[in-house]
Structure 1
Amino acid sequence: MEFGGVLRKMRFRAHLSQEQMAERMFISRSNVSKLENNKLELKARDLIRWCKETNGQDMLIAVTCGIDPAMIADIGPNAIDGMNNLIDLLTNITPGLINLLGVIL
């Protein structure tokens, strides 16, 4: 699965430039560009960190649940609040889900 477009949407949604994302990820701006253009292999730890830095845990959960992450990326602000409520519910139902994903990925 190619994540480049999803990574870009997550970064845009967080209002971050490639340079700002690079600083947060401790990688070069060039590597941010390569990740977003599927020119560099995305490691699980980088995906998890990207999600944390962009507050995009909803994307990580979507991928894990088999939901097209592009659908989540295109959701408007009101729907994002609803998605955040769903994430809270899922997190309460399955404690440690994010940690488990980190181990699995």
Structure 2
Amino acid sequence: MNVGQLLRSTRKRAGLTQEDMSPLVNISRSTISKVERNEMTLATEDFIRWLQTIQTKLSTNAVTIETSLYIINGVDINLLVDMLTKAVGGFISFLL
């Protein structure tokens, strides 16, 4: 799955059409279409607004903007959580 497909998937999961999404992220509908087809990329600030909009619409979802950025950038969330758990656990053991 590519970035455009992921963004389309998040928009649809939030129950938004491209027309609904356009004013919420301040991007034209045609630009949203091009981004979702991987014909163009979003600027960082537009990408963050997209994720914030989706997070607001899916407020019951535990996915945060940071988690979305990790996933988009190919970070293995399970490995990251495992490493952090070990690091925190080791630090706590060190303190005791």
Of structures 1 and 2, the one scoring higher in RCO (CA 8 A, sep 6+) is 1
Q: Scaled by the length of structure 2, what TM-score is found?
A: 0.60
Q: CA deviation at 1:60?
A: 2.0
* Paired amino acid for 2:51: C
Percent of residue pairs identical = 35
Whole-angstrom distance in 2 between the partners of 1:63 and 1:33: 18
Unaligned runs of 5+ in 2: 56-62, 82-87, 89-96
How many residues in Structure 1 have an aligned counterpart in Structure 2? Answer: 69
Whole-angstrom distance in 2 between the partners of 1:36 and 1:65: 18
Q: Scaled by the length of structure 1, what TM-score is found?
A: 0.56
Whole-angstrom distance in 2 between the partners of 1:50 and 1:14: 11
Q: CA deviation at 1:27?
A: 1.6
Unaligned runs of 5+ in 1: 69-85, 87-92, 94-105
1:63 counterpart residue number: 72
Kept after mapping to 1: 8 A contact 2:3/2:72? no
Kept after mapping to 1: 8 A contact 2:25/2:50? yes
Whole-angstrom distance in 2 between the partners of 1:47 and 1:9: 14
* 1:40 and 2:40 correspond: yes
Q: CA deviation at 1:59?
A: 1.7
Q: How does 1:78-97 map to 2 (within 5 A)?
A: none
* Higher Rg of the two aligned structures: 2
What's the CA shift string for 1:16-37, capped at 9, x where partnerless? 0000111111121101101101
